Chain A
Amino acid sequence: MQHCTPEQLALAALREPLPDADTAHLAACERCRAEVASLQRAVDALAVPQLAAPGAPVPPPPAVWEAIAAATGVTATPRPEVLAGAAPTPSLTTVPPVAEPPATRDGASVLAFRSRRRPLLLVAAATVAGAVIGAGAVAVLGDDGSGTPRAVPVAAVDLDPLADSDASGRASVIERPDGSRVLEVDLRAGDLDDRYYEVWLIDEAVQDMVPVGVARSGTVDFELPDGLDLGRFPIVDVSVEPLDGNPTHSGVSVARGVLDT
Protein backbone atom coordinates (compact mmCIF):
# COMPACT_ATOMS: atom_id res chain seq x y z
CA MET A 1 0.00 0.00 0.00
CA GLN A 2 1.27 3.44 -0.97
CA HIS A 3 1.67 5.76 2.02
CA CYS A 4 0.58 9.39 1.93
CA THR A 5 3.37 11.83 1.03
CA PRO A 6 4.94 13.75 3.91
CA GLU A 7 3.45 16.94 2.50
CA GLN A 8 -0.06 15.50 2.48
CA LEU A 9 0.35 14.34 6.07
CA ALA A 10 1.38 17.86 7.04
CA LEU A 11 -1.75 19.24 5.39
CA ALA A 12 -3.79 16.62 7.23
CA ALA A 13 -2.21 17.85 10.47
CA LEU A 14 -3.54 21.31 9.57
CA ARG A 15 -6.93 19.65 9.04
CA GLU A 16 -7.05 20.46 5.39
CA PRO A 17 -9.22 18.09 3.38
CA LEU A 18 -7.11 15.57 1.46
CA PRO A 19 -7.84 13.91 -1.89
CA ASP A 20 -10.09 10.86 -1.54
CA ALA A 21 -7.29 8.34 -2.03
CA ASP A 22 -5.25 9.90 0.80
CA THR A 23 -8.27 10.12 3.07
CA ALA A 24 -9.00 6.46 2.51
CA HIS A 25 -5.40 5.48 3.09
CA LEU A 26 -5.18 7.54 6.24
CA ALA A 27 -8.26 5.87 7.66
CA ALA A 28 -6.61 2.49 7.19
CA CYS A 29 -2.96 3.24 8.01
CA GLU A 30 -1.92 3.54 11.60
CA ARG A 31 1.58 4.68 10.73
CA CYS A 32 0.37 7.65 8.68
CA ARG A 33 -2.17 8.56 11.33
CA ALA A 34 0.51 8.53 14.01
CA GLU A 35 2.62 10.85 11.88
CA VAL A 36 -0.30 13.27 11.51
CA ALA A 37 -0.90 13.19 15.25
CA SER A 38 2.73 13.96 16.02
CA LEU A 39 2.68 16.97 13.70
CA GLN A 40 -0.64 18.09 15.03
CA ARG A 41 0.50 18.84 18.54
CA ALA A 42 1.92 22.18 17.37
CA VAL A 43 -1.16 22.93 15.30
CA ASP A 44 -3.46 22.30 18.22
CA ALA A 45 -1.39 24.49 20.51
CA LEU A 46 -1.13 27.49 18.20
CA ALA A 47 -4.07 27.45 15.82
CA VAL A 48 -6.54 28.62 18.44
CA PRO A 49 -8.97 31.50 18.04
CA GLN A 50 -7.39 33.51 20.86
CA LEU A 51 -4.09 33.74 18.95
CA ALA A 52 -5.64 34.28 15.53
CA ALA A 53 -4.97 37.39 13.49
CA PRO A 54 -6.77 40.43 14.87
CA GLY A 55 -10.45 40.72 14.07
CA ALA A 56 -12.57 43.66 15.13
CA PRO A 57 -10.47 46.33 16.86
CA VAL A 58 -11.43 47.35 20.39
CA PRO A 59 -10.15 50.74 21.56
CA PRO A 60 -8.40 50.41 24.93
CA PRO A 61 -9.41 52.87 27.66
CA PRO A 62 -7.16 55.96 28.08
CA ALA A 63 -5.56 54.57 31.24
CA VAL A 64 -3.66 52.05 29.11
CA TRP A 65 -1.78 54.76 27.26
CA GLU A 66 -1.19 56.68 30.48
CA ALA A 67 0.44 53.63 32.02
CA ILE A 68 2.60 53.06 28.93
CA ALA A 69 3.67 56.70 28.88
CA ALA A 70 4.48 56.61 32.59
CA ALA A 71 6.51 53.41 32.30
CA THR A 72 8.43 54.38 29.18
CA GLY A 73 8.83 58.06 29.98
CA VAL A 74 7.54 58.90 26.54
CA THR A 75 6.00 62.38 26.51
CA ALA A 76 4.75 62.33 22.94
CA THR A 77 1.09 61.45 22.91
CA PRO A 78 -1.38 59.96 20.51
CA ARG A 79 -3.85 62.51 19.20
CA PRO A 80 -6.31 63.46 21.93
CA GLU A 81 -9.36 62.53 19.89
CA VAL A 82 -7.96 59.02 19.38
CA LEU A 83 -7.61 58.56 23.10
CA ALA A 84 -10.93 60.24 23.77
CA GLY A 85 -12.65 58.03 21.26
CA ALA A 86 -11.44 55.17 23.33
CA ALA A 87 -12.94 56.59 26.47
CA PRO A 88 -15.91 55.36 28.39
CA THR A 89 -17.96 52.21 27.88
CA PRO A 90 -16.28 51.02 24.73
CA SER A 91 -18.92 49.50 22.55
CA LEU A 92 -17.73 45.95 22.23
CA THR A 93 -17.27 45.15 18.62
CA THR A 94 -16.19 41.59 19.23
CA VAL A 95 -19.58 40.22 18.26
CA PRO A 96 -19.94 40.16 14.49
CA PRO A 97 -23.00 41.96 13.21
CA VAL A 98 -25.75 39.47 12.64
CA ALA A 99 -26.93 40.80 9.35
CA GLU A 100 -23.58 40.51 7.62
CA PRO A 101 -22.60 37.05 6.49
CA PRO A 102 -19.02 36.59 7.64
CA ALA A 103 -17.61 35.50 4.31
CA THR A 104 -18.08 38.95 2.89
CA ARG A 105 -16.03 40.72 5.52
CA ASP A 106 -12.34 40.97 6.15
CA GLY A 107 -12.62 40.50 9.87
CA ALA A 108 -14.56 37.32 9.33
CA SER A 109 -11.64 34.98 9.72
CA VAL A 110 -12.62 34.30 13.31
CA LEU A 111 -15.78 32.49 12.35
CA ALA A 112 -14.25 30.71 9.41
CA PHE A 113 -11.35 29.80 11.64
CA ARG A 114 -13.27 27.89 14.20
CA SER A 115 -15.45 26.23 11.63
CA ARG A 116 -12.48 24.73 9.85
CA ARG A 117 -10.38 23.99 12.89
CA ARG A 118 -13.15 22.10 14.54
CA PRO A 119 -14.65 20.40 11.57
CA LEU A 120 -15.25 16.99 13.04
CA LEU A 121 -18.48 17.58 14.87
CA LEU A 122 -19.75 20.05 12.36
CA VAL A 123 -19.04 17.94 9.32
CA ALA A 124 -20.31 14.75 10.88
CA ALA A 125 -23.39 16.65 11.89
CA ALA A 126 -23.90 17.97 8.39
CA THR A 127 -24.11 14.44 7.14
CA VAL A 128 -26.75 13.62 9.70
CA ALA A 129 -28.62 16.77 8.89
CA GLY A 130 -28.41 16.06 5.19
CA ALA A 131 -30.52 13.00 5.71
CA VAL A 132 -33.44 15.06 6.90
CA ILE A 133 -33.46 17.61 4.11
CA GLY A 134 -37.02 17.97 3.03
CA ALA A 135 -38.29 15.36 5.41
CA GLY A 136 -39.52 17.68 8.13
CA ALA A 137 -39.93 20.79 6.13
CA VAL A 138 -43.27 22.29 5.29
CA ALA A 139 -44.04 25.47 3.48
CA VAL A 140 -47.36 27.11 4.11
CA LEU A 141 -47.87 30.30 2.17
CA GLY A 142 -50.87 32.53 1.85
CA ASP A 143 -53.54 33.87 4.17
CA ASP A 144 -56.35 32.31 6.17
CA GLY A 145 -58.99 32.83 3.50
CA SER A 146 -60.54 35.79 5.28
CA GLY A 147 -58.43 38.15 3.23
CA THR A 148 -56.67 39.38 6.35
CA PRO A 149 -52.94 38.84 6.17
CA ARG A 150 -51.51 37.12 9.20
CA ALA A 151 -48.24 35.68 10.32
CA VAL A 152 -47.65 32.43 8.48
CA PRO A 153 -45.06 29.75 8.90
CA VAL A 154 -43.08 29.55 5.69
CA ALA A 155 -40.76 26.73 6.64
CA ALA A 156 -40.23 24.39 9.55
CA VAL A 157 -37.93 21.55 10.38
CA ASP A 158 -37.35 19.10 13.17
CA LEU A 159 -34.09 19.59 15.04
CA ASP A 160 -32.54 16.20 15.48
CA PRO A 161 -30.07 15.34 18.22
CA LEU A 162 -26.40 15.10 17.21
CA ALA A 163 -23.75 12.76 18.51
CA ASP A 164 -24.67 11.69 22.06
CA SER A 165 -26.80 14.68 22.83
CA ASP A 166 -30.42 14.27 23.84
CA ALA A 167 -31.43 17.72 22.68
CA SER A 168 -34.13 17.97 20.06
CA GLY A 169 -36.79 20.35 18.94
CA ARG A 170 -38.36 22.13 16.06
CA ALA A 171 -37.56 25.34 14.21
CA SER A 172 -40.12 27.35 12.24
CA VAL A 173 -39.69 30.42 10.13
CA ILE A 174 -42.72 32.67 10.48
CA GLU A 175 -43.39 35.57 8.21
CA ARG A 176 -45.36 38.51 9.53
CA PRO A 177 -47.70 40.55 7.36
CA ASP A 178 -45.11 43.32 7.13
CA GLY A 179 -42.64 40.89 5.61
CA SER A 180 -40.39 40.58 8.67
CA ARG A 181 -39.48 37.08 9.74
CA VAL A 182 -39.13 35.28 13.03
CA LEU A 183 -37.31 32.04 13.71
CA GLU A 184 -39.23 30.19 16.39
CA VAL A 185 -37.19 27.52 18.11
CA ASP A 186 -38.88 25.03 20.35
CA LEU A 187 -36.01 23.29 22.10
CA ARG A 188 -36.15 20.28 24.37
CA ALA A 189 -32.81 20.07 26.11
CA GLY A 190 -31.31 19.77 29.55
CA ASP A 191 -30.38 22.79 31.63
CA LEU A 192 -26.75 23.87 31.53
CA ASP A 193 -24.35 25.08 34.21
CA ASP A 194 -21.91 27.81 33.14
CA ARG A 195 -22.80 27.28 29.52
CA TYR A 196 -25.69 28.21 27.28
CA TYR A 197 -27.43 27.21 24.08
CA GLU A 198 -27.01 29.33 20.99
CA VAL A 199 -28.88 29.12 17.70
CA TRP A 200 -27.06 29.55 14.39
CA LEU A 201 -27.96 29.55 10.73
CA ILE A 202 -25.21 27.83 8.75
CA ASP A 203 -24.54 27.36 5.07
CA GLU A 204 -24.50 23.94 3.48
CA ALA A 205 -20.71 23.85 3.32
CA VAL A 206 -20.74 24.31 7.11
CA GLN A 207 -18.31 27.14 6.60
CA ASP A 208 -20.14 30.41 7.10
CA MET A 209 -22.70 31.04 9.78
CA VAL A 210 -24.91 33.69 11.29
CA PRO A 211 -25.45 33.79 15.06
CA VAL A 212 -29.19 34.03 15.71
CA GLY A 213 -29.31 34.23 19.47
CA VAL A 214 -29.24 32.66 22.88
CA ALA A 215 -31.73 29.86 23.45
CA ARG A 216 -32.98 27.77 26.35
CA SER A 217 -35.19 24.77 26.73
CA GLY A 218 -38.69 25.85 25.69
CA THR A 219 -39.84 28.15 22.93
CA VAL A 220 -37.82 31.21 21.99
CA ASP A 221 -38.50 33.58 19.10
CA PHE A 222 -35.65 35.19 17.21
CA GLU A 223 -36.06 38.14 14.91
CA LEU A 224 -34.32 37.41 11.61
CA PRO A 225 -32.42 40.22 9.89
CA ASP A 226 -34.16 41.58 6.81
CA GLY A 227 -32.46 40.34 3.69
CA LEU A 228 -30.91 37.31 5.33
CA ASP A 229 -31.02 34.62 2.66
CA LEU A 230 -32.25 31.42 4.29
CA GLY A 231 -31.48 29.59 1.07
CA ARG A 232 -27.85 30.40 1.70
CA PHE A 233 -27.98 29.50 5.41
CA PRO A 234 -30.47 26.65 5.57
CA ILE A 235 -29.01 24.70 8.50
CA VAL A 236 -30.56 25.52 11.87
CA ASP A 237 -27.95 24.60 14.45
CA VAL A 238 -28.08 24.62 18.24
CA SER A 239 -24.70 24.74 19.96
CA VAL A 240 -23.50 24.69 23.52
CA GLU A 241 -21.33 27.72 24.25
CA PRO A 242 -19.04 28.31 27.21
CA LEU A 243 -19.23 31.67 28.98
CA ASP A 244 -15.78 32.57 27.69
CA GLY A 245 -16.56 35.81 25.92
CA ASN A 246 -15.68 34.24 22.61
CA PRO A 247 -18.42 35.06 20.12
CA THR A 248 -17.58 32.29 17.68
CA HIS A 249 -19.20 28.88 17.41
CA SER A 250 -17.78 26.50 19.99
CA GLY A 251 -17.88 23.61 17.55
CA VAL A 252 -20.12 21.67 19.92
CA SER A 253 -23.50 21.24 18.27
CA VAL A 254 -26.29 19.35 19.98
CA ALA A 255 -29.22 19.53 17.55
CA ARG A 256 -29.68 20.43 13.95
CA GLY A 257 -32.11 20.51 11.07
CA VAL A 258 -32.07 21.77 7.50
CA LEU A 259 -34.73 24.21 6.33
CA ASP A 260 -36.23 23.49 2.96
CA THR A 261 -36.83 27.01 1.75
Chain B
Amino acid sequence: MGSVAVVDPVPTQRVVAELDDAEVGRRFAAGDPQGLAWAYERWAGQVHGMAVRAFGPGPDAEDITQQTFMSAWTGRGGFDPDRGPLPAWLVGVCRHKIADTWAKRARQQRETEAAMSEARATPSGPVTAGVDTAVADRVLLLDELDLLGQPQRGIIELAFFEDLTHTQIAVRTGLPLGTVKSHIRRTLERLRTRLEVDGAALHA
Protein backbone atom coordinates (compact mmCIF):
# COMPACT_ATOMS: atom_id res chain seq x y z
CA MET B 1 0.00 0.00 0.00
CA GLY B 2 1.45 3.35 -0.96
CA SER B 3 2.07 5.98 1.66
CA VAL B 4 -0.60 8.28 0.26
CA ALA B 5 -3.36 5.68 0.40
CA VAL B 6 -5.25 7.64 2.98
CA VAL B 7 -5.25 11.32 2.34
CA ASP B 8 -7.14 13.99 4.12
CA PRO B 9 -9.78 15.21 1.68
CA VAL B 10 -9.02 18.88 1.98
CA PRO B 11 -5.32 18.79 1.18
CA THR B 12 -6.13 16.27 -1.56
CA GLN B 13 -8.19 18.81 -3.38
CA ARG B 14 -5.35 21.23 -3.33
CA VAL B 15 -2.90 18.62 -4.50
CA VAL B 16 -5.19 17.46 -7.30
CA ALA B 17 -5.58 20.95 -8.62
CA GLU B 18 -1.84 21.18 -8.98
CA LEU B 19 -1.13 17.71 -10.29
CA ASP B 20 -0.82 17.46 -14.01
CA ASP B 21 -2.21 14.53 -15.95
CA ALA B 22 1.24 13.06 -16.47
CA GLU B 23 1.82 12.87 -12.73
CA VAL B 24 -1.53 11.13 -12.24
CA GLY B 25 -0.43 8.68 -14.94
CA ARG B 26 2.88 8.02 -13.18
CA ARG B 27 1.17 7.46 -9.82
CA PHE B 28 -1.32 5.12 -11.46
CA ALA B 29 1.45 3.15 -13.15
CA ALA B 30 3.35 2.96 -9.88
CA GLY B 31 0.35 1.32 -8.21
CA ASP B 32 -0.48 4.23 -5.95
CA PRO B 33 -4.17 3.71 -5.04
CA GLN B 34 -4.72 7.45 -4.98
CA GLY B 35 -3.63 7.40 -8.63
CA LEU B 36 -6.61 5.20 -9.44
CA ALA B 37 -8.96 7.54 -7.59
CA TRP B 38 -7.54 10.55 -9.39
CA ALA B 39 -7.69 8.83 -12.75
CA TYR B 40 -11.33 8.00 -12.09
CA GLU B 41 -12.02 11.56 -11.03
CA ARG B 42 -10.58 12.94 -14.24
CA TRP B 43 -11.48 10.41 -16.88
CA ALA B 44 -14.44 8.29 -15.75
CA GLY B 45 -16.74 10.73 -17.55
CA GLN B 46 -14.97 10.22 -20.88
CA VAL B 47 -14.89 6.46 -20.49
CA HIS B 48 -18.52 6.32 -19.43
CA GLY B 49 -19.47 8.62 -22.29
CA MET B 50 -18.03 6.04 -24.70
CA ALA B 51 -19.80 3.20 -22.94
CA VAL B 52 -23.11 5.06 -23.05
CA ARG B 53 -22.61 5.77 -26.74
CA ALA B 54 -22.12 2.07 -27.40
CA PHE B 55 -24.81 0.62 -25.12
CA GLY B 56 -27.06 3.49 -24.09
CA PRO B 57 -27.36 4.70 -20.51
CA GLY B 58 -27.91 1.98 -17.90
CA PRO B 59 -26.35 -1.11 -16.36
CA ASP B 60 -24.54 -2.28 -19.51
CA ALA B 61 -22.66 0.98 -19.89
CA GLU B 62 -21.95 1.12 -16.16
CA ASP B 63 -20.56 -2.38 -16.34
CA ILE B 64 -18.21 -1.37 -19.18
CA THR B 65 -16.94 1.63 -17.22
CA GLN B 66 -16.42 -0.46 -14.11
CA GLN B 67 -14.61 -3.19 -16.03
CA THR B 68 -12.45 -0.65 -17.80
CA PHE B 69 -11.10 0.85 -14.57
CA MET B 70 -10.80 -2.50 -12.83
CA SER B 71 -8.83 -4.14 -15.57
CA ALA B 72 -6.80 -1.00 -16.20
CA TRP B 73 -5.81 -1.10 -12.54
CA THR B 74 -4.97 -4.78 -12.38
CA GLY B 75 -3.26 -4.55 -15.79
CA ARG B 76 -1.44 -1.30 -15.04
CA GLY B 77 1.87 -3.03 -15.73
CA GLY B 78 0.92 -2.75 -19.39
CA PHE B 79 0.71 1.02 -19.17
CA ASP B 80 3.91 2.89 -19.84
CA PRO B 81 3.57 6.57 -18.91
CA ASP B 82 6.46 7.42 -21.21
CA ARG B 83 4.68 6.08 -24.28
CA GLY B 84 1.44 7.98 -24.01
CA PRO B 85 -1.03 9.64 -21.69
CA LEU B 86 -3.16 7.61 -19.29
CA PRO B 87 -6.54 8.81 -20.62
CA ALA B 88 -5.67 7.55 -24.10
CA TRP B 89 -4.70 4.20 -22.64
CA LEU B 90 -7.94 4.00 -20.64
CA VAL B 91 -9.93 4.74 -23.79
CA GLY B 92 -8.08 1.87 -25.48
CA VAL B 93 -9.00 -0.47 -22.63
CA CYS B 94 -12.60 0.69 -22.90
CA ARG B 95 -12.60 -0.14 -26.64
CA HIS B 96 -11.52 -3.67 -25.81
CA LYS B 97 -14.30 -4.01 -23.25
CA ILE B 98 -16.90 -2.80 -25.73
CA ALA B 99 -15.68 -5.15 -28.46
CA ASP B 100 -15.47 -8.07 -26.00
CA THR B 101 -19.02 -7.45 -24.89
CA TRP B 102 -20.27 -7.41 -28.47
CA ALA B 103 -18.45 -10.66 -29.16
CA LYS B 104 -19.84 -12.28 -26.03
CA ARG B 105 -23.35 -11.32 -27.00
CA ALA B 106 -22.95 -12.59 -30.53
CA ARG B 107 -21.73 -15.90 -29.09
CA GLN B 108 -24.67 -16.12 -26.72
CA GLN B 109 -27.08 -15.37 -29.50
CA ARG B 110 -25.50 -18.05 -31.66
CA GLU B 111 -25.82 -20.58 -28.85
CA THR B 112 -29.41 -19.63 -28.23
CA GLU B 113 -30.25 -19.97 -31.88
CA ALA B 114 -28.46 -23.28 -32.11
CA ALA B 115 -30.29 -24.55 -29.04
CA MET B 116 -33.63 -23.43 -30.40
CA SER B 117 -33.09 -25.00 -33.76
CA GLU B 118 -32.06 -28.22 -32.04
CA ALA B 119 -35.12 -28.10 -29.84
CA ARG B 120 -37.32 -27.71 -32.87
CA ALA B 121 -35.44 -30.63 -34.43
CA THR B 122 -35.30 -28.82 -37.70
CA PRO B 123 -32.90 -30.24 -40.24
CA SER B 124 -29.66 -28.42 -39.39
CA GLY B 125 -30.07 -25.19 -41.22
CA PRO B 126 -27.14 -22.80 -41.48
CA VAL B 127 -28.30 -20.87 -38.43
CA THR B 128 -24.89 -19.44 -37.76
CA ALA B 129 -24.27 -18.23 -41.27
CA GLY B 130 -25.44 -14.72 -40.52
CA VAL B 131 -23.04 -14.12 -37.62
CA ASP B 132 -21.51 -10.70 -37.83
CA THR B 133 -17.87 -11.34 -38.69
CA ALA B 134 -17.06 -7.72 -37.86
CA VAL B 135 -17.75 -8.55 -34.20
CA ALA B 136 -14.98 -11.14 -34.16
CA ASP B 137 -12.74 -9.02 -36.38
CA ARG B 138 -12.85 -6.14 -33.93
CA VAL B 139 -11.46 -8.16 -31.04
CA LEU B 140 -8.57 -9.38 -33.18
CA LEU B 141 -7.85 -6.01 -34.70
CA LEU B 142 -7.80 -4.17 -31.38
CA ASP B 143 -5.26 -6.73 -30.16
CA GLU B 144 -3.16 -6.08 -33.23
CA LEU B 145 -3.32 -2.31 -32.70
CA ASP B 146 -1.86 -2.86 -29.23
CA LEU B 147 1.17 -4.46 -30.86
CA LEU B 148 1.88 -1.51 -33.15
CA GLY B 149 4.73 0.83 -32.32
CA GLN B 150 4.68 4.59 -32.62
CA PRO B 151 4.08 6.56 -34.71
CA GLN B 152 2.15 3.87 -36.62
CA ARG B 153 -0.35 3.34 -33.85
CA GLY B 154 -1.07 6.99 -33.29
CA ILE B 155 -1.50 7.56 -37.01
CA ILE B 156 -3.97 4.76 -37.58
CA GLU B 157 -5.91 5.66 -34.45
CA LEU B 158 -6.32 9.22 -35.68
CA ALA B 159 -7.65 7.84 -38.96
CA PHE B 160 -9.95 5.24 -37.38
CA PHE B 161 -11.14 6.87 -34.21
CA GLU B 162 -10.88 10.58 -34.87
CA ASP B 163 -11.79 10.37 -38.52
CA LEU B 164 -8.91 12.55 -39.65
CA THR B 165 -7.74 12.54 -43.25
CA HIS B 166 -4.07 11.82 -43.94
CA THR B 167 -3.53 15.54 -44.49
CA GLN B 168 -5.05 16.37 -41.13
CA ILE B 169 -2.96 13.65 -39.50
CA ALA B 170 0.19 15.14 -41.00
CA VAL B 171 -0.77 18.54 -39.63
CA ARG B 172 -1.65 17.12 -36.23
CA THR B 173 1.47 15.00 -35.83
CA GLY B 174 3.95 17.17 -37.70
CA LEU B 175 5.02 14.15 -39.75
CA PRO B 176 5.59 14.50 -43.51
CA LEU B 177 2.61 13.62 -45.69
CA GLY B 178 4.51 10.81 -47.43
CA THR B 179 5.42 9.24 -44.10
CA VAL B 180 1.82 9.33 -42.93
CA LYS B 181 0.63 7.74 -46.17
CA SER B 182 3.15 4.94 -46.11
CA HIS B 183 2.45 4.16 -42.44
CA ILE B 184 -1.27 4.02 -43.18
CA ARG B 185 -0.62 1.64 -46.05
CA ARG B 186 1.65 -0.65 -44.06
CA THR B 187 -0.67 -0.72 -41.07
CA LEU B 188 -3.73 -1.59 -43.15
CA GLU B 189 -1.70 -4.39 -44.77
CA ARG B 190 -0.69 -5.66 -41.37
CA LEU B 191 -4.28 -5.64 -40.14
CA ARG B 192 -5.37 -7.44 -43.31
CA THR B 193 -2.74 -10.11 -42.70
CA ARG B 194 -3.90 -10.57 -39.14
CA LEU B 195 -7.45 -11.09 -40.33
CA GLU B 196 -6.33 -13.52 -43.02
CA VAL B 197 -4.32 -15.58 -40.57
CA ASP B 198 -6.44 -15.54 -37.42
CA GLY B 199 -9.76 -14.27 -38.67
CA ALA B 200 -10.20 -17.21 -40.97
CA ALA B 201 -9.25 -19.69 -38.27
CA LEU B 202 -11.74 -18.09 -35.95
CA HIS B 203 -14.61 -18.63 -38.33
CA ALA B 204 -13.58 -22.11 -39.44
- Please report A residues at the B interface, Cβ cutoff 8 Å: 6-7, 9-11, 13-14, 16, 38-39, 41-47, 49-61, 63-65, 67-68, 71-72, 74-80, 82, 86, 90, 92-94, 109-110, 112-113, 116-117, 244-246
* Of B4, B137, B165, B184, the contact of A10 (CB 8 Å cutoff): B184
Judge whether A68 and B162 touch: CB under 8 Å: no
| Alpha-carbon distance A58/B64, docked complex (angstroms) | 13
Judge whether A42 and B188 touch: CB under 8 Å: yes
Judge whether B33 and A54 touch: CB under 8 Å: no
Closest residue of chain B to A93, judged by CB?
B49
Most buried by A among B33, B95, B163, B185: B163
The answer, yes or no, to whether B66 is at the interface (CB within 8 Å) is yes
Judge whether A41 and B70 touch: CB under 8 Å: no
Q: How far is the CB of A217 from chain B (nearest CB, A)?
A: 26
Q: Name 19 interchain pairs, CB-CB below 8 A, sorted by A.
A: A9-B185, A10-B189, A14-B159, A14-B166, A47-B163, A51-B50, A51-B161, A53-B91, A55-B53, A58-B45, A64-B44, A65-B44, A72-B73, A75-B6, A76-B6, A76-B33, A80-B9, A82-B41, A245-B55
- Please report B residues at the A interface, Cβ cutoff 8 Å: 4-7, 9, 12-13, 16, 33-34, 36-38, 40-41, 44-50, 52-57, 61-62, 65-66, 69-70, 73-74, 91, 95, 98-99, 134, 137-138, 141-142, 145, 159-163, 165-166, 181-182, 184-185, 188-189, 191-192, 195
User: Which residues of chain B have C-beta atoms less than 8 A from A56's C-beta?
Assistant: 49
| Alpha-carbon distance A9/B192, docked complex (angstroms) | 13
Task: For the complex of A and B, list the 6 residue pairs with the smallest distance between their C-beta atoms, beginning with the closest.
Answer: A57-B45, A245-B56, A42-B191, A78-B41, A45-B137, A50-B54
Q: Looking at chain A's contact residues, is the secondary structure mostly helix, strand, loop, or mixed? A: helix
Judge whether A59 and B45 touch: CB under 8 Å: yes
* Of A50, A79, A112, the contact of B53 (CB 8 Å cutoff): A50
Judge whether B57 and A92 touch: CB under 8 Å: yes
* Of A16, A61, A75, the contact of B5 (CB 8 Å cutoff): A75
